[in-house]
Amino acid sequence: MYKKVKQYAINNGFTVEEKNGLIYGRMNGFFFSIYQDPATMAKHTVHLWVKEDKITAIPSIPDFLNQCTSKHQYLQSASYSGTKVTAEFQGIGFKWQKEYTPCLDAFLQEFTSFCRSNGLVSCCESCSSGLGLSLYQIGGVEHMLCSSCYSNTADSLQRKAAEASKKGNGNMVGGIVGALLGSVLGVIVWVLIYQLGYISGIAGLVMIICSLKGYEMLGGHLSKAGVIISCIISIIMVLVAEQVCVAIEIFNVYKDYYEISFFDAFRSVPSFLEEPDLKAAVIGDIIMGYILMAVGAWGTIRQAYKSTSGGTKARMVASVTSASPADDN
Ligand SMILES: [Zn+2]
């Protein structure tokens, strides 16, 4: 969990479930949850469950959320289903760490005071009842439900979550294209570093990260299959990159003496590799590339596996309101 958000939660007396990536608590009397994306620390989903009671909210809840989205830098989107608010935060740019948590806090403060001044009330996400509400985590998503809705919907929500995680492999063709494009970026960086005379293996790190990101961007979701595909593509593209580097060298040396094209040089690389010195240098580059690739990929791969496994459980997290209005203060 991102440490600044965790610290913010602790300072404000919210409950932190680090293992489940979950924070919850109350602000201005309204219950909310913050879910930490398992794959990146700069992404959080905030939920609140409210509905209008007796008076009409001014501005309307969706209008107010729109105002929030345009005002708060890291609030990427906010929507309202009629009972549930979903606000997606993502830190973008180099300096996001500085203002990210204050931005999250400002949104929560602002939205809960809006709820209070418009007399909104907490409600079940499914039937909008206000009694016997609890927070549940079903398939890695937070839901606030009354006990009867939970027993009715848990099964179908769980089934939906199971389907969604299967669909995770979803757009594999898109993912492969994304991984290839990402790895081409890695090849370019590799060649540039080689040209500058540094150890081009450094680019192995760039290669694997771009490839995994590329898969995620065009494939929609980084599944286990996606991780394996991205790794295989990167492993191959390291060899391509190194061959391009050697070919450029050969081409630059021989172009003045012979009429050769870059592709002739590229094809001739294997025969040049019989030269022991060059061979040792090339193998050194490649090994360094693979080591750095493993370093760069480790965190992402671990998290991708974490987020796709065991994501369909349903559990009650906390009780939010009591079953009868009399003892609910
Ligand atoms: Zn209900």
The CA distance from 281 to 240, in Å, is 15
Alpha helices (H) in the chain, listed in sequence order: 3-11, 61-71, 96-117, 147-167, 172-195, 203-219, 224-254, 262-272, 276-308
Say whether both 27 and 52 belong to one domain.
yes
Report the share of the chain in percent with pLDDT over 70: 91
Q: How far is the CA of 81 from the centre of ligand 1 (A)?
A: 15
Statement: the pTM of the whole predicted model exceeds 0.75: no
- Going from the Cα of 85 to the center of ligand 1, the distance in angstroms, rounded, reads 16
pLDDT of 103 > 90? The answer is yes
Task: Please tell me the distance between residue 151's alpha carbon and the centre of ligand 1 in angstroms.
Answer: 10
**Cα(39)–Cα(262) distance, integer angstroms:** 41
- The model's confidence at residue 273, banded by pLDDT at 50, 70 and 90, is confident
CA of 136 from ligand 1 middle (Å) equals 12
pLDDT at 24: 97
- Amino acid letter for position 231: C
Q: Which of 55-59, 74-78, 154-158, 221-225 has the highest mean pLDDT?
A: 74-78
Residues 56 and 145 in one domain: yes
Do 135 and 185 lie in one domain? The reply is no
Residue 258's pLDDT band (boundaries 50, 70, 90)? confident
Domain that holds residue 247: 172-308
* Distance from Cα 51 to the centre of ligand 1, integer Å: 13
Are residues 249 and 133 part of one domain?
no
pLDDT value, residue 7: 96
Same domain, 132 and 229: no
Per-residue pLDDT, 169: 56
3-class DSSP assignment, residue 136? strand
Query: Ligand 1 centroid vs 159 CA: distance in angstroms?
Result: 19
Ligand 1 midpoint to CA 152 (Å): 9
Measured in Å, residue 156 CA sits from the centre of ligand 1 at: 14
Ligand 1: distance of its center to the CA of 177 in Å? 43
Q: Of the ranges 83-97, 146-160, 272-286, which one carries the lowest mean pLDDT score? A: 146-160
Whether 326 contacts 180, CB under 8 Å? no
- On whether both 246 and 322 belong to a single domain, the answer is no
More confident position, 301 or 195:
195
**What DSSP character marks residue 2?**
-
Q: How many domains would you assign to the chain?
A: 2
Type of residue numbered 222: L
123, 49 Cβ separation under 8 angstroms: yes
- The answer on 157 and 8 residing in a single domain is yes
Alpha-carbon span 53 to 196, nearest angstrom: 67
Instruction: For Cα atoms 143, 144, 146, give the angle at the middle one, nearest 5 degrees.
Output: 130
Enter the tokens of residue 96: 């996001």
Claim to verify: residue 280 and residue 177 sit in the same structural domain: yes
- Whether residues 14 and 147 share a domain: the answer is yes
- Answer yes or no: do 147 and 94 share one domain: yes
Cα 15 to averaged position of ligand 1 atoms, centre (Å) = 24
Distance 319 CA to ligand 1 centre (A): 14
Of 162, 215, 222, whose CA–CA distance to 38 is shortest? 222
Instruction: Measure 122 CA to ligand 1 centroid, in angstroms.
Output: 11
Give the pLDDT score at 329: 44
Q: Calculate how far, in angstroms, residue 127's C-alpha sits from the geometric centre of ligand 1.
A: 4
- The answer to whether 119 and 55 are in contact (CB under 8 A) is yes
Mean pLDDT on 265-279: 89
CA–centroid distance, 144 to ligand 1, in Å, is 9
* pLDDT of 157 above 80: no
Q: Is 111 in contact with 68 (CB distance < 8 Å)?
A: yes
| Average pLDDT of the segment spanning 72-101 | 93
Q: What are phi and psi of 152, to 5 degrees?
A: -80, -40
Residues 41 and 111 occupy one common structural domain: yes
254-287 burial code (b ≥16 CB/10 A, e <16): eeeeeeeeeeebbebbeeeeeeeeeeeebeebbe
Same domain, 157 and 43: yes
Distance 161 CA to ligand 1 centre (A): 19
Both tokens of 27, joined, read 């602000």
Q: Is 326 helix (H, G, I), strand (E, B) or coil?
A: helix
Mean confidence (pLDDT) of the chain: 88
